[in-house]
C-alpha cells in the first residue's frame, strides 16, 4: 500500500516536488497502418548512440581513447582553479572536447574538477568488445499499426447482435459472476487520444523509434525491464502459447520464430559479454525515454545481479540508486552445494534521484513489521509489561516507545524544562519535541513510560497500523487462482504493482520493453497508467493480447471524469461497523497531534481508491504494432537496403545457406514431388544469383538458386533481376528460397513462363535455417518446401432479403 501525505496523492517523493512532463505539442504522432510500409523505406537514417569514453577500460591511463588526456586536462583545471580565490569558480565553464569536436565534459569549479577526477579512478566493469564500442547505430524505423483493439467495442458488438448467450461474454472475460444486464461496462480512456500500445519488435529498435520517430523522449515515468536472466538460448523464450514446461537444451522446446533466432544469434554471440552489451545499450535508451522524475526497475536473478547493478551504476550513476529489492518467487532453484536461491531481485534507479517520484509504500499488517523492536503490552487494567518472545497478544494493546527529545537543537530555552513522571525528574539534552502544554496533554493521555533513567513516549500499533515497505519482500509468491501463469517466466502481479504505485501517478506513462505475458501492461491498465510494451517474440505478445482483452478490473472512481485517470482517483475515509478503517484515507495519530490537541493527520493509501461496484471495467483501447522489415532488395553490392544489413553479414548468410542446402539438398515442390540437388556451388561472376546446382536424375544443365534475405520477404525486384540473369545465362529453372515473399514477387514467379522466361518456383525455407548450430537435430527433411496459398475465389452473392443489404 503506498501512502502520500494529506488528502491528495503526493506528486513527488522525499519531500521534493517532482516535475511532471508535457507532450511536446500535445498531439500524438499518428502511426501508419500496416500495409503502407513500402512508402517508409529509408525515410530516416539510423540513430547513433555514443558512450562516454571516459568510462571505457582506458581509465587505467594506458589506453589511447582520451581518458588520459581527460585526466591531464582535469589536473590542469584543478591547478588553475585552485589558484583562484574561494570558492574557486571559473568565470565561464571550460570544455574538454574529443578530436572530432564533441564536448565530453564541461567544468566550472575546482570542486567539479576534483569530483570528475575521482570518478575517473573508480573501478568499473569491463568486458570483451566494450572498449571498442564507443557508439552504436540503431535503425530508425516507423511503427505500423496492425490491429486496433477494444474489449468494450467487442462486447458491445456482440451484445448488439442480441444473442441469448449474454452471460458468455463474462465467461469470455474470465468473470462469470456478472450478467451483462446488471452491470455497466466501462474502460478508462485518455483525453489526448492516447491509446496504449503492444509492439512486436526488438526492444532497442522500438525504443529508438519511440525516441526518434515519435519524439517520446523524456516522457516515460517508469520503465520495467525483465530481461532474460542469462544467455542460454532455451532459457530466454517460451516457444509455444500453450507450453509452459519448457526444458533447457531440448531442441523440441526451442523457438523457430525467425526474428527470435536472429535476435538470439545477434545478441548472445559472445555469451555473457554480449549480454552485458545488450543490457547496457537498452539501459541507455531507457534512460533517454524517462522524464526527469522517472525511474527504471530491472528484474534479475542472482546469476547476473552483480553485473547488471554495475551497468546501472554506469548508465544511471550509483548516486541515483533507489533500492535493491529481493522478492520471493515460487520454486526454489536446486544447487549441488551452497544455498538454494528462492528470490529474484529488482534494481530500482532514478533518472535523477533528487527529482524522482518515489513514494513510501505501506503494508496493511497492523503495524507489526514497522515496530518490531522492544514491544510492550498494556492490559485492560492498564498494567504494562514487555512482550514475551513468541507471544502474539490479541486482547491487550501493543505498543513500542520513542524518545521525547527533539531531533535537532531547538535554539530556544522554551522547550528545555523538567518533566516529572513516575517519581523521577527528566531534563532534555537539546530540548523536548513539544511545549509544557503539550507535555501536559501527553501525560493526561497516559503516553509516558519510564525505562531506567529515560522518559519515553508510547506509540500504540493502533496509532497507525501500517508498516513501511522494506527492500525485502517476502509476500510475493502468488497462490491459488491468482498464481496461474500463462507464461513460463511471468512476473507476479504484486511485484509490478508495487513498483507502479511507488513510482507513478494515474495517467503516467509506463513502458516495458520485455513484455512477456504483459504483466506490466496488465497492472498499468488496472491502475489507470498509460502503457507501451514491447516483445520480440509473437508467442508472449499473443498471450499478453489475450490476457488484456479478457481482463476485468475494479472501476476506481475518477476525481475528474473528463480527464480520465490523469485527474486522479477518489479516496475517502471510511470505517466498518467494528470501527476499523476501510477507506483509502486513514488517520495517523502522532505525538504532535496529541500534544497539540489536533485531529490526527490523514494519509492516503494509494492502492485503496473508491470502487464503483456497479461498473465492470475492461481494458481500454489498445493497438498492436510492429516494426515490420520492409521487403528487402540488395543494393547491387550485395547489401540489404533495409538499413540494417552489412555485406559481411549477407556473405555469411549465403555461406550458411549453401552449407545447409548441401546437407539437406531436397526441395519439396508440392504434390508429393521433390527435387534433389547436387554440386551446389556459388555461380561465377553473378549479379543477382546466389547459387547454381545440378538436379539429380535431371538433364545436364544447371538450375539457378536465389536466396531471399535472412531478415525479410523476397521482393519483386529481387526476383525480377534473378529471373533476367538466370534466363540469359541459360539455366533451366530458377528456385527462389526464402522465409517470406511479397505477393507481387510470387505473381512474377508464377507468370515467368508466360512472360517468355525460364520456369521459376518459390520454395519456403523453415526458420530452422537460421538455427544452424543452435539445433543439435535440425529437421533437415522438411527444411525446404513449397508453401501453397489458400485458393480464394470471390463470388457476388445476391441479398436474400432487403434487411441483408
Ligand atoms: C523474462 S520475460 C518477461 C516476462 C514478463 N515480465 C511477464 O510477466 O510475463 C523476457 C521477455 O523479453 C523478451 N525479449 C528478449 N529479448 C528481447 C529483445 N531484444 N527485444 C524485445 N523483447 C525481448 C522475450 O521474448 C521474453 O518474452
Highest mean pLDDT out of 28-37, 50-59, 80-89, 284-293 = 284-293
CB 567 within 8 A of CB 558: yes
pLDDT tens column, 193-207: 899 999 988 899 999
Pocket test for ligand 1, best of 536, 547, 644 (most atoms within 8 A of CB): 536
Query: In this predicted structure, what is the pLDDT of residue 52?
Result: 65
Pocket test for ligand 1, best of 279, 297, 482, 516 (most atoms within 8 A of CB): 516
Within 10 angstroms of residue 324's Cβ, the number of other Cβ atoms is: 15
Strand-pairing partners, residue 106, are 95
| Residue bearing the CA closest to ligand 1, atom 17 | 536
pLDDT tens column, 598-621: 999 999 999 999 999 999 899 999
Entry pTM: 0.73
> Over the chain, what is the mean pLDDT?
81
User: From the CA of 224, how far away is ligand 1's center (Å)?
Assistant: 11
Query: In this predicted structure, what is the pLDDT of residue 125?
Result: 82
pLDDT tens column, 179-233: 555 568 899 999 888 999 999 888 999 999 999 999 999 999 999 999 987 665 4
Q: What is d(CA 504, CA 18) in angstroms, rounded to the nearest whole number?
A: 11
User: From the CA of 320, how far away is ligand 1's center (Å)?
Assistant: 25
The backbone region for 418, taken as left when phi is positive above 0, alpha when psi lies in -120 to 50, beta otherwise, is beta
Pocket test for ligand 1, best of 540, 544, 626 (most atoms within 8 A of CB): 540
Query: In this predicted structure, what is the pLDDT of residue 176?
Result: 55
User: From the CA of 203, how far away is ligand 1's center (Å)?
Assistant: 9
Q: In the structure, what pLDDT confidence band is assigned to residue 384 with cuts at 50, 70 and 90?
A: very high
User: From the CA of 235, how far away is ligand 1's center (Å)?
Assistant: 11
Q: In the structure, what pLDDT confidence band is assigned to residue 14 with cuts at 50, 70 and 90?
A: very low
Query: What DSSP letter does each residue of 738-782 carry, written as one string?
Result: ES-B-HHHHHHHHTTTTTTS--EEEEEEPTHHHHGGG-SS--GGG
pLDDT tens column, 128-178: 888 777 788 888 888 989 889 988 888 777 666 655 554 555 555 555 555
- Per-residue burial over 627-658, b = 16 or more CB atoms within 10 Å of its CB, e = otherwise: bbbbbbbbeeebbbbbbbbeeeebeebeebbb
Q: In the structure, what pLDDT confidence band is assigned to residue 633 with cuts at 50, 70 and 90?
A: low
* Cα–Cα distance list, 609 to 136, 190, 613 (Å): 45, 19, 12
Whether the bond into 87 is cis, omega within 30 of 0: yes
Mean of the pLDDT values across residues 292-308?
94
CB 768 within 8 A of CB 239: no
User: From the CA of 543, how far away is ligand 1's center (Å)?
Assistant: 12
Q: What is d(CA 76, CA 59) in angstroms, rounded to the nearest whole number?
A: 18
CB 213 within 8 A of CB 140: yes
pLDDT tens column, 517-530: 999 999 999 999 99
Lowest-confidence pick of 636-645, 655-664, 761-770: 636-645
User: From the CA of 714, how far away is ligand 1's center (Å)?
Assistant: 28
Residue 607 C-alpha cell reads as 492502492
User: From the CA of 443, how far away is ligand 1's center (Å)?
Assistant: 59
Atom index in ligand 1 nearest the CA of residue 224 equals: 6
User: From the CA of 237, how far away is ligand 1's center (Å)?
Assistant: 7
- Per-residue burial over 665-697, b = 16 or more CB atoms within 10 Å of its CB, e = otherwise: bbbbbeeeeebebeebeebeebebbbbbbbbee
pLDDT tens column, 559-582: 999 999 999 999 999 999 988 899
pLDDT tens column, 36-55: 666 666 567 788 888 765 55
User: From the CA of 722, how far away is ligand 1's center (Å)?
Assistant: 39
| Residue bearing the CA closest to ligand 1, atom 4 | 516
Query: In this predicted structure, what is the pLDDT of residue 178?
Result: 56
Pocket test for ligand 1, best of 515, 538, 544 (most atoms within 8 A of CB): 515
Phi–psi pair at 319, nearest 5 degrees = -70, -15
Residue 778 has pLDDT above 50, yes or no: no
Residue 57 has pLDDT above 50, yes or no: no
Which alpha helices (DSSP H) does 457-590 contain, by range? 493-503, 519-526, 538-549
Between 485 and 114, name the one with better pLDDT. Answer: 114
DSSP 92: E
Q: Which of 415, 426, 428 is nearest to 452 (CA)?
A: 426
Lowest-confidence pick of 240-254, 599-613, 618-632: 240-254
Atom index in ligand 1 nearest the CA of residue 263 equals: 19
Q: What is the CA 569 to chain-centroid distance, rounded?
A: 25
pLDDT above 70 as % of the chain = 75
Between 782 and 466, name the one with better pLDDT. Answer: 466
Mean of the pLDDT values across residues 57-78?
67
Q: What is d(CA 503, CA 291) in angstroms, rounded to the nearest whole number?
A: 12
Q: Which of 717, 688, 730 is nearest to 705 (CA)?
A: 688
User: From the CA of 204, how far away is ligand 1's center (Å)?
Assistant: 12
Residue 727 burial (C-beta neighbours within 10 Å; 0-12, 13-18, 19+): middle
Q: What is d(CA 442, CA 448) in angstroms, rounded to the nearest whole number?
A: 7
Residues with CB under 6 A from ligand 1: 202-203, 226-228, 236-237, 263, 487, 489-491, 513-514, 516-517, 519, 534-537, 540
Strands 144-149 and 454-460: unpaired
Query: In this predicted structure, what is the pLDDT of residue 16?
Result: 46
Mean of the pLDDT values across residues 393-416?
80
Q: In the structure, what pLDDT confidence band is assigned to residue 711 with cuts at 50, 70 and 90?
A: low
Query: In this predicted structure, what is the pLDDT of residue 299?
Result: 96
Within 10 angstroms of residue 93's Cβ, the number of other Cβ atoms is: 13
pLDDT above 90 as % of the chain = 46
Query: In this predicted structure, what is the pLDDT of residue 763?
Result: 87
Atom index in ligand 1 nearest the CA of residue 544 equals: 9
Q: In the structure, what pLDDT confidence band is assigned to residue 768 with cuts at 50, 70 and 90?
A: low
Q: Residue 288: in which H helix or E strand, if any?
A: helix 272-289
Strands 622-626 and 196-200: parallel
Pocket test for ligand 1, best of 200, 535, 627 (most atoms within 8 A of CB): 535
Q: In the structure, what pLDDT confidence band is assigned to residue 651 with cuts at 50, 70 and 90?
A: low
Residue 661 has pLDDT above 70, yes or no: yes
User: From the CA of 79, how far away is ligand 1's center (Å)?
Assistant: 50
Query: In this predicted structure, what is the pLDDT of residue 786?
Result: 56
Residue 227 C-alpha cell reads as 530481461
Residue 764 has pLDDT above 50, yes or no: yes
Amino acid at each position: 500500500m503506498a501512502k502520500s501525505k494529506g488528502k491528495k496523492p503526493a506528486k513527488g517523493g522525499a519531500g521534493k516536488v517532482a516535475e511532471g512532463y508535457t507532450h511536446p505539442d500535445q498531439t500524438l504522432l499518428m502511426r501508419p497502418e500496416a500495409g503502407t510500409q513500402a512508402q517508409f523505406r529509408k525515410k530516416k537514417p539510423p540513430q547513433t548512440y555514443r558512450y562516454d569514453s571516459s568510462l571505457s577500460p582506458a581509465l587505467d591511463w594506458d589506453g589511447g581513447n582520451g581518458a588520459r588526456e581527460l585526466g591531464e586536462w582535469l589536473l590542469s583545471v584543478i591547478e588553475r582553479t585552485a589558484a583562484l580565490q574561494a570558492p574557486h569558480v571559473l568565470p565561464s565553464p571550460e570544455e574538454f572536447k574529443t578530436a572530432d569536436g564533441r564536448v565530453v565534459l564541461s567544468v566550472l569549479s575546482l570542486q567539479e574538477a576534483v569530483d570528475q577526477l575521482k570518478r575517473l579512478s573508480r573501478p568499473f566493469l569491463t568486458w570483451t568488445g566494450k572498449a571498442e564500442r564507443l557508439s552504436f547505430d540503431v535503425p530508425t524505423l516507423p511503427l505500423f499499426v496492425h490491429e486496433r483493439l477494444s474489449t468494450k467495442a467487442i462486447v458491445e458488438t456482440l451484445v448488439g447482435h442480441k444473442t441469448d448467450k449474454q452471460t458468455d461474454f463474462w465467461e469470455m472475460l474470465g468473470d462469470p459472476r456478472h450478467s451483462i444486464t446488471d452491470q455497466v461496462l466501462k474502460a478508462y480512456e485518455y483525453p489526448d487520444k492516447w491509446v496504449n500500445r503492444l509492439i512486436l519488435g526488438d526492444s532497442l529498435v522500438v525504443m529508438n523509434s519511440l525516441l526518434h520517430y515519435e519524439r517520446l523522449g523524456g516522457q516515460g515515468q517508469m520503465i520495467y525491464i525483465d530481461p532474460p536472466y542469462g544467455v542460454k538460448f532455451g532459457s530466454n523464450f517460451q516457444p509455444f502459447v500453450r507450453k509452459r514446461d519448457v526444458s533447457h537444451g531440448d531442441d523440441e522446446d526451442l523457438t523457430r520464430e525467425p526474428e527470435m533466432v536472429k535476435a538470439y544469434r545477434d545478441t548472445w554471440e559472445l555469451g555473457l559479454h554480449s549480454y552485458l552489451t545488450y543490457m547496457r545499450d537498452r539501459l541507455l535508451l531507457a534512460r533517454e525515454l524517462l522524464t526527469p522524475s522517472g525511474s527504471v526497475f530491472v528484474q534479475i536473478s542472482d546469476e547476473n545481479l552483480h553485473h547488471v547493478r554495475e551497468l546501472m551504476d554506469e548508465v544511471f550513476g550509483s548516486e541515483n540508486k533507489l533500492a535493491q529489492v529481493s522478492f520471493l518467487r515460487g520454486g526454489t532453484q536446486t544447487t549441488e552445494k551452497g544455498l538454494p536461491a528462492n528470490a529474484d531481485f529488482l534494481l530500482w534507479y532514478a533518472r535523477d534521484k533528487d527529482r524522482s517520484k518515489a513514494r513510501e509504500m505501506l503494508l496493511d499488517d497492523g503495524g507489526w513489521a514497522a515496530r518490531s523492536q522492544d514491544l510492550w503490552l498494556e492490559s485492560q487494567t492498564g498494567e504494562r509489561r514487555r512482550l514475551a518472545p513468541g507471544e502474539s497478544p490479541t486482547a491487550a494493546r501493543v505498543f513500542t516507545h520513542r524518545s521525547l527529545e527533539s531531533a535537532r537543537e531547538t535554539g530556544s530555552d522554551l522547550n528545555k524544562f523538567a518533566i516529572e513522571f513516575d517519581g523521577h525528574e527528566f531534563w532534555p539534552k537539546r530540548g523536548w519535541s513539544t511545549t509544557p502544554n503539550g507535555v501536559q496533554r501527553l501525560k493526561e493521555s497516559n503516553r509516558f513510560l519510564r525505562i531506567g533513567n529515560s522518559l519515553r513516549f508510547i506509540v500504540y500499533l493502533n496509532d497507525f497500523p501500517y508498516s513501511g515497505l522494506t527492500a525485502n519482500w517476502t509476500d510475493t509468491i502468488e497462490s491459488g487462482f491468482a498464481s496461474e501463469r500463462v507464461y513460463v517466466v511471468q512476473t507476479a502481479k504484486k511485484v509490478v504493482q508495487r513498483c507502479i504505485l511507488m513510482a507513478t501517478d494515474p495517467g503516467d506513462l509506463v513502458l516495458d520493453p520485455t513484455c512477456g505475458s504483459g504483466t506490466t501492461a496488465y497492472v498499468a491498465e488496472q491502475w489507470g497508467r498509460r502503457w507501451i510494451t514491447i516483445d520480440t517474440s509473437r508467442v508472449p505478445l499473443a498471450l499478453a493480447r489475450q490476457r488484456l482483452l479478457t481482463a476485468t478490473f475494479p472501476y476506481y472512481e475518477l476525481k475528474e471524469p473528463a480527464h480520465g485517470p490523469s485527474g486522479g482517483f477518489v479516496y475517502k475515509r471510511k470505517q466498518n461497523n467494528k470501527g476499523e478503517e476501510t477507506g483509502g484515507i486513514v488517520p495517523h495519530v502522532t505525538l504532535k497531534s496529541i500534544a497539540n490537541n489536533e485531529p490526527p493527520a490523514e494519509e492516503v493509501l494509494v492502492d485503496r481508491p473508491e470502487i464503483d461496484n456497479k461498473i465492470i471495467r475492461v481494458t481500454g483501447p489498445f493497438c498492436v504494432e510492429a516494426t515490420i522489415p520492409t521487403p528487402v532488395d540488395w543494393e547491387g553490392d550485395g547489401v540489404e537496403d533495409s538499413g540494417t544489413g552489412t555485406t559481411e553479414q549477407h556473405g555469411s548468410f549465403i555461406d550458411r545457406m549453401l552449407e545447409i542446402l548441401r546437407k539437406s539438398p531436397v526441395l519439396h515442390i508440392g504434390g508429393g514431388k521433390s527435387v534433389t540437388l547436387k554440386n551446389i556451388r556459388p555461380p561465377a561472376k553473378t549479379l543477382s544469383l546466389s547459387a547454381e546446382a545440378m538436379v539429380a536424375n535431371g538433364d545436364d544443365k544447371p538450375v539457378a538458386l536465389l536466396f531471399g534475405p535472412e531478415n525479410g520477404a523476397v521482393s519483386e525486384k529481387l526476383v525480377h533481376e534473378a529471373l533476367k540473369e538466370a534466363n540469359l545465362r541459360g539455366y533451366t529453372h530458377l528456385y527462389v528460397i526464402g522465409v517470406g515473399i511479397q505477393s507481387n514477387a510470387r505473381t512474377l514467379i508464377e507468370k515467368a513462363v508466360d512472360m517468355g522466361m525460364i520456369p521459376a518456383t518459390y520454395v519456403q525455407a523453415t526458420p530452422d535455417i537460421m538455427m544452424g548450430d543452435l539445433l543439435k537435430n535440425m529437421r533437415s527433411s522438411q527444411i525446404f518446401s513449397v508453401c501453397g496459398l489458400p485458393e480464394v475465389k470471390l463470388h457476388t452473392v445476391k441479398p436474400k432479403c432487403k434487411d441483408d443489404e
